């Protein structure tokens, strides 16, 4: 797939980035939805702008109950069809039988192994046949995301386009939009969570910590990606 850099421009709004990304992809595009504030906002923005895209989610087997509640609320509000993907059960069984239930806390390599089984491999299946995928990543979230582009080829997934409509939004902008639109919100945010993934790998953050400090909190900040968004 060829990609024309002219589709990327400064100070574009989320609907503009999304619209240009969908046009540049020239084929099927889906949102990778973790039911975060960001992903819920993107669904609403697309709905408001009349833009069509798919929505898929990865059920790692370790999600919080509150995350499923948001999924159900989105289905009800937007009549949304969510394409769920799951890890290969044989791989999960082998991992837990050989390494135990919390091996991901023993080392970075073991955490990557768990993420590869529960997230990365299902993502590769979810992206098959797509020309692009949409994420809720924002530059402000962490050091690992500070150099993102709004629309960029994803070399790790065959060069399909990766579209990041909220790239320049601050957390306060996101919260304002969510409040103004009355969007479904994970109840864990009210308990101090600012980024929500698998239950054993996510905690509330302390005042002054960055947005993703509660993800894999035992690791260094530069390592805090699961493998879905490696650069």
Catalytically annotated residues:
226
Paired strand residues for 85: 58
Size of the chain in residues? 231
Whole-angstrom distance, CA of residue 132 vs CA of residue 162: 6
Contacts of 171 (CB under 8 A, 6+ apart): 138, 140, 194, 211
Query: Tokens standing for 188?
Result: 């864990």
Pairing label, strands 160-163, 132-134: parallel
Contacts of 99 (CB under 8 A, 6+ apart): 110, 113
Residue 222 burial by Cβ neighbours in a 10 Å radius (0-12, 13-18, 19+): exposed
Instruction: Provide the 3-class DSSP secondary structure of residue 197.
Output: coil
The b/e string for 33-63 (b: 16+ C-beta within 10 A; e otherwise) is bbbbbbbbbbbbbbeeeebebbbbbbbbebb
Residue with tokens 């993102």: 148
Instruction: Provide the 3-class DSSP secondary structure of residue 134.
Output: strand
> Are the beta carbons of 64 and 56 closer than 8 angstroms?
no
- CA torsion sign for 109, 113, 118, 124 is positive
């Amino acid at each position: 797939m060829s990609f024309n850099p002219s589709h990327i421009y400064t100070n574009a709004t989320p609907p503009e980035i999304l619209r240009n990304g969908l046009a540049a992809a020239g084929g099927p595009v889906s949102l990778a939805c973790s039911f975060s504030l960001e992903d819920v906002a993107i669904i609403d923005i697309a709905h408001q702008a009349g833009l069509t895209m798919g929505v898929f989610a990865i059920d790692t087997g370790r999600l919080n109950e509150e995350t499923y509640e948001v999924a159900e609320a989105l289905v009800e509000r937007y009549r949304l069809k969510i394409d769920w993907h799951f890890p290969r059960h044989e791989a999960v069984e082998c991992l837990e039988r050989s390494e135990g239930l919390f091996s991901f806390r023993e080392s970075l390599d073991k955490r990557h192994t768990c993420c590869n089984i529960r997230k990365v491999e299902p993502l590769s299946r979810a992206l098959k046949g797509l020309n692009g995928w949409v994420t809720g990543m924002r530059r402000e979230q962490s050091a690992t995301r500070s150099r993102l582009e709004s629309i960029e080829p994803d070399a790790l997934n065959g060069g399909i386009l990766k579209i990041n409509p909220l790239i320049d939004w601050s957390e306060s902008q996101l919260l304002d939009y969510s409040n103004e639109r009355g969007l479904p919100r994970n109840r864990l945010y009210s308990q101090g969570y600012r980024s929500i993934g698998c239950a054993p790998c996510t905690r509330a953050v302390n005042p002054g910590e960055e947005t993703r400090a509660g993800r894999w909190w035992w690791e260094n900040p530069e390592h805090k990606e699961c493998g879905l968004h490696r650069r």
